[in-house]
């Protein structure tokens, strides 16, 4: 489906043909900033938000339960503030926030609505039918920031329970509920964590932050949290900490992590094609930006290996000794010639595609496209110059189109993971290219090329869909696959391939096989447990790994001090050799550094959440959702020295939480990003957002 301000189209053949279905929505203008609210899984449900006149009583939505074959017009009793969100398991249940700060729910796919609370700043679906939300008590979300109440309801608004006060923001990641809470001084805030949906809380062992700083959940699952803590001042960087499996005790993972106030951009990228791998950028002492990668979920970060047959550019001190640097969100935000962020897919094992440069730091020169077929251990230059790219057929096919201001009519494709490329002219007459689209999931053999012909005033929009199943017509057989050991760097080493305590052997398509994996292709792997080594342990609370070292050393500021912290309401004394096992690590036997928590039998409670106020309430007053953006006044920085990408000085700051439209509508400032996951898409349900803007 595709829509604009006035036209809605639908395709049933992967974009080969389209039918104009604007009449199904009564030729109504669609509010494109709300996007298409598509139901979870394969529910077939779609919601479009109509643009109504300013004097209307409420908004208007168009609902479809049959993949947009038909739509039902529904007038709302409120004006929606942001895109309507679906219950993660039940697509009939919807959540919405109004421009009047009301929290509305529907249990019949939007046919009828009920306002369950007023004065709401932010609302999210939790586990089962739980809804978490913050409310303001006096004036507004912005005025009461840091004094908000965090509430929950598990019965769609029949009863409410206050689970926190003095709240700045909150977020959900994996099985964790996070809250950024103002301290008694009122000038700093601390992260609190709950594993039981807010019934009990523990203070995370993380540094507190002031009003010019922020927290950001970069990634979270059921075992581990990556948390960015901003440095004081407008430095443009902070420190990444990784949690234990309770989300309470954190270890320093990476210092000088680039997370600028400029647009709130971070290059933190989860490589989904192989477990445990993340790529991000650090801001070096000379203010140049460099890429680093971890293969063990933050245990150790290293530079990306220099691709073979490449020369170091002028940012490097040596023509032979340098590394690959990846362009991601920050480069895109700075308007460099980078059309796409790094790409990986869970079913395209080991494949990572990204724009980059080879040198001592990220270069401002036009980048090339690089590919890794082993999750980022080794790289090769795939295409010269910037391109748009897509992965098809579970990695059996890669397609690309050159990024240029000139009209194009050629698509390039590779059947051997980017080693050899072929060109196909999809049209006699070139078009001004605007986008490359394929079905989500990287299983399709079809890709659509979008663009237009003509001048700006008389554009003729066109779409070409290329079906590669005619080229790769043969279905892959057993002989087309081989066994591949992931994370393998030294086959003679018995522990080769051991990451997070176990090895994995994959059944993988041979590069020389020209065949089709097909839609039913399933990634098959064979795991085996490894004995424990120091690589299976993170640095414990109070310790850290210096860059390019595997040994944990004591943090200078904590050296010689007893390591006390609060755990389950008790003051604990930590006895440690400096290591703790990585959450989710499955190693057995081998090395096992000691770690002991000694109960000091002293009560240690945080009253920041005001437990005395955590009584159930039956109030039915509704609330408003507020998503906040931090705005820190600055001067634009950016000096080019020897082609280096320099990031220094003060930055113009706009940090957006997942529901950025809310912030724009309300002008709320100063938010933490506590929702882990991938960069936020407009609207849509996010169960694991990855920023500290806890929201």
CA separation for the pair 18, 71 (Å, rounded): 17
265 Cβ neighbours under 8 A, 6+ residues apart: 259, 329, 330, 333
CA separation for the pair 380, 396 (Å, rounded): 17
* pLDDT at residue number 572: 62
Tell me the C-alpha to C-alpha distance, in Å, between residue 633 and each of 210, 234, 245, 630, 694.
16, 9, 38, 10, 21
- Tens of pLDDT, residue by residue over 171-218, are 998 899 999 999 877 789 999 999 999 999 999 989 999 888 899 999
- Tens of pLDDT, residue by residue over 17-66, are 889 999 999 888 888 888 889 998 777 899 999 888 766 788 999 999 99
Where does the pLDDT of residue 637 fall: very low under 50, low under 70, confident under 90, or very high at 90 and above? Answer: very low
Surface-to-core class of residue 244, CB atoms within 10 Å of its CB (0-12 exposed, 13-18 middle, 19+ buried): buried
548 Cβ neighbours under 8 A, 6+ residues apart: 302
Where does the pLDDT of residue 456 fall: very low under 50, low under 70, confident under 90, or very high at 90 and above? Answer: low
- Classified as helix, coil or strand, 556 is helix
Higher pLDDT, 449 or 299: 449
Range with the largest mean pLDDT of 241-245, 349-353, 550-554, 654-658: 349-353
Surface-to-core class of residue 651, CB atoms within 10 Å of its CB (0-12 exposed, 13-18 middle, 19+ buried): buried
Q: What is the pTM of this model?
A: 0.83
Q: Check: CB of residue 83 under 8 Å from CB of residue 73.
A: no
Where does the pLDDT of residue 630 fall: very low under 50, low under 70, confident under 90, or very high at 90 and above? Answer: very low
Q: Check: CB of residue 122 under 8 Å from CB of residue 110.
A: no
Q: Report which of 383, 228, 218 is spatially closest to residue 307, judged by C-alpha positions.
A: 383
* pLDDT at residue number 594: 67
CA separation for the pair 491, 272 (Å, rounded): 24
Where does the pLDDT of residue 656 fall: very low under 50, low under 70, confident under 90, or very high at 90 and above? Answer: very low
Q: Report which of 693, 689, 581 is spatially closest to residue 242, judged by C-alpha positions.
A: 581
Name residue, tokens 């004065």. Answer: 119
Surface-to-core class of residue 491, CB atoms within 10 Å of its CB (0-12 exposed, 13-18 middle, 19+ buried): exposed
* pLDDT at residue number 554: 82
CA separation for the pair 204, 193 (Å, rounded): 6
Mean pLDDT within 273-295: 95
**Other beta carbons less than 10 A from residue 23's beta carbon:** 9
Instruction: Report the helix count and the strand count for the chain, using DSSP H and E.
Output: 2, 53
The DSSP-derived string for 176-190 is EEEEEEE-TTSSEEE
Token reading at 266? 């971070």
* pLDDT at residue number 15: 80
Q: Which helix (H) or strand (E) holds 356?
A: strand 352-359
* pLDDT at residue number 211: 84
- Tens of pLDDT, residue by residue over 221-243, are 888 899 999 999 888 999 999 99
* pLDDT at residue number 530: 94
- Tens of pLDDT, residue by residue over 343-374, are 999 999 999 999 999 999 999 899 999 999 99
Where does the pLDDT of residue 598 fall: very low under 50, low under 70, confident under 90, or very high at 90 and above? Answer: low
Alpha helices in 86-130, H assignment, sequence order: none
- Ramachandran quadrant class, 664 (left: phi over 0; alpha: psi -120 to 50; beta: rest): alpha
Burial 174-193 (b: 16+ CB within 10 A, else e): bbbbbbbbbeeeeeebbbbb
Given a cut of 80, whether residue 263 has pLDDT beyond it is: no
In the chain, what percentage of residues exceed pLDDT 90? 56
- Tens of pLDDT, residue by residue over 92-107, are 999 999 999 999 999 9
Name residue, tokens 């407008």. Answer: 234
- Tens of pLDDT, residue by residue over 428-441, are 999 999 999 998 88
* pLDDT at residue number 615: 34
Surface-to-core class of residue 453, CB atoms within 10 Å of its CB (0-12 exposed, 13-18 middle, 19+ buried): middle
Bridge-based pairing of strands 72-75 and 60-64 is antiparallel
Bridge-based pairing of strands 250-258 and 269-270 is unpaired
* pLDDT at residue number 139: 81
Question: What's the first-to-final CA gap in the chain, in angstroms?
Answer: 31
Q: Report which of 674, 395, 604, 603 is spatially closest to residue 507, judged by C-alpha positions.
A: 395
CA separation for the pair 34, 81 (Å, rounded): 9
Higher pLDDT, 413 or 634: 413
Where does the pLDDT of residue 12 fall: very low under 50, low under 70, confident under 90, or very high at 90 and above? Answer: confident
H, E, C per residue of 576-599: ECCEEECCCCCCCCECCCCEEEEE
Token reading at 347? 């079913």
* pLDDT at residue number 597: 57
CA separation for the pair 121, 623 (Å, rounded): 7
Q: Check: CB of residue 385 under 8 Å from CB of residue 402.
A: yes
Mean pLDDT within 515-526: 94
pLDDT mean across residues, the chain: 82
Q: Report which of 424, 310, 321 is spatially closest to residue 369, judged by C-alpha positions.
A: 310
Tell me the C-alpha to C-alpha distance, in Å, between residue 313 and each of 319, 360, 363, 377, 384.
7, 8, 8, 21, 15
């Amino acid at each position: 489906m595709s829509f604009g301000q006035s036209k809605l189209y639908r395709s049933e053949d992967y974009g080969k043909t389209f039918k104009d279905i604007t009449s199904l929505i009564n030729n109504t203008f669609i509010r494109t900033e709300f996007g298409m609210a598509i139901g979870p899984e394969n529910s077939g449900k779609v919601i479009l938000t109509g643009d109504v006149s300013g004097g209307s009583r409420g908004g208007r939505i168009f609902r479809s339960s049959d993949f947009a074959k038909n739509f039902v017009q529904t007038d709302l009793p409120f004006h929606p503030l942001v895109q309507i969100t679906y219950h993660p398991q039940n697509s009939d249940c919807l959540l919405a926030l109004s421009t009047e700060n009301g929290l509305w729910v529907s249990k019949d796919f939007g046919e009828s609505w009920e306002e369950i609370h007023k004065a709401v700043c932010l609302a999210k679906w939790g586990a089962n039918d739980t809804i978490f939300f913050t409310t303001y008590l006096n004036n507004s979300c912005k005025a009461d920031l840091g004094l908000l109440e965090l509430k929950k309801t598990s019965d769609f608004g029949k009863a409410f329970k206050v689970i926190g006060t003095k709240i700045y923001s909150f977020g959900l990641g994996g099985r964790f509920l996070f809250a950024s809470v103002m301290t008694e001084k009122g000038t700093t805030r601390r992260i609190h964590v709950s594993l039981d949906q807010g019934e009990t809380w523990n203070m995370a062992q993380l540094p507190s932050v002031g009003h010019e700083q922020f927290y950001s959940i970069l990634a979270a699952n059921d075992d581990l949290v990556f948390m960015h803590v901003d440095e004081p001042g407008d430095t443009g960087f902070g420190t990444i900490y990784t949690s234990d499996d309770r989300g309470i005790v954190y270890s320093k993972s990476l210092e000088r992590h680039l997370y600028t106030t400029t647009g709130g951009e971070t290059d933190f990228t989860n490589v989904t094609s192989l477990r445990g791998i993340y790529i991000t950028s650090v801001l070096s002492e000379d203010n140049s930006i460099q890429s680093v990668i971890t293969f063990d979920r933050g245990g150790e970060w290293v530079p990306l290996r220099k691709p073979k047959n490449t020369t170091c550019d002028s940012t490097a001190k040596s023509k032979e000794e340098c590394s690959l640097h990846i362009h991601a969100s920050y480069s895109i935000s700075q308007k460099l010639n980078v059309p796409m962020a790094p790409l990986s897919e869970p079913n395209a094992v080991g494949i990572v595609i990204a724009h980059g440069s080879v040198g001592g730091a990220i270069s401002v020169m036009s980048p090339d496209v690089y590919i890794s077929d082993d999750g980022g251990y080794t790289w090769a230059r795939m295409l010269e110059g910037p391109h748009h790219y897509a992965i098809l057929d579970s990695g059996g096919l890669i397609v690309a189109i050159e990024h240029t201001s000139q009209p194009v009519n050629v698509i390039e494709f590779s059947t051997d993971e980017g080693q050899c490329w072929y060109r196909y002219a999809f049209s006699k007459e070139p078009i001004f290219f605007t986008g490359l689209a394929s079905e989500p999931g990287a299983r399709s053999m079809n890709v659509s090329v979008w663009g237009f012909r003509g001048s700006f005033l008389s554009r003729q929009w066109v779409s070409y869909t290329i079906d590669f199943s005619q080229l790769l017509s043969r279905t892959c057989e057993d002989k087309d696959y081989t066994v591949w050991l992931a994370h393998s760097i030294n086959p003679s080493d018995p522990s080769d391939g051991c990451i997070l305590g176990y090895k994995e052997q994959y059944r993988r398509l041979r590069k020389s096989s020209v065949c089709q994996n097909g839609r039913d292709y399933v990634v098959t792997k064979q795991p085996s447990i490894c004995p424990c080594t120091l690589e299976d342990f993170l640095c414990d609370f109070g310790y850290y790994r210096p860059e390019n070292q595997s040994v944990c050393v004591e943090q200078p500021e904590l050296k010689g001090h007893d390591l006390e912290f609060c755990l389950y309401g008790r003051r604990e004394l930590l006895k440690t050799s400096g290591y703790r096992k990585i959450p989710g690590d499955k190693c057995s036997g081998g090395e096992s550094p000691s770690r002991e928590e000694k109960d000091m039998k002293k009560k240690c409670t945080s009253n920041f959440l005001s437990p005395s106020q955590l009584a159930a309430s039956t109030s039915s007053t509704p609330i408003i959702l507020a998503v906040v953006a931090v705005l820190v006044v600055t001067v634009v920085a950016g000096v080019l020295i020897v082609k280096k990408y320099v990031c220094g000085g003060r930055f113009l700051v706009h940090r957006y939480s997942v529901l950025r439209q809310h912030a724009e509508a309300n002008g709320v400032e100063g938010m933490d990003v506590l929702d882990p996951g991938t960069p936020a898409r407009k609207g849509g349900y996010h169960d694991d957002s990855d920023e500290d803007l806890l929201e």
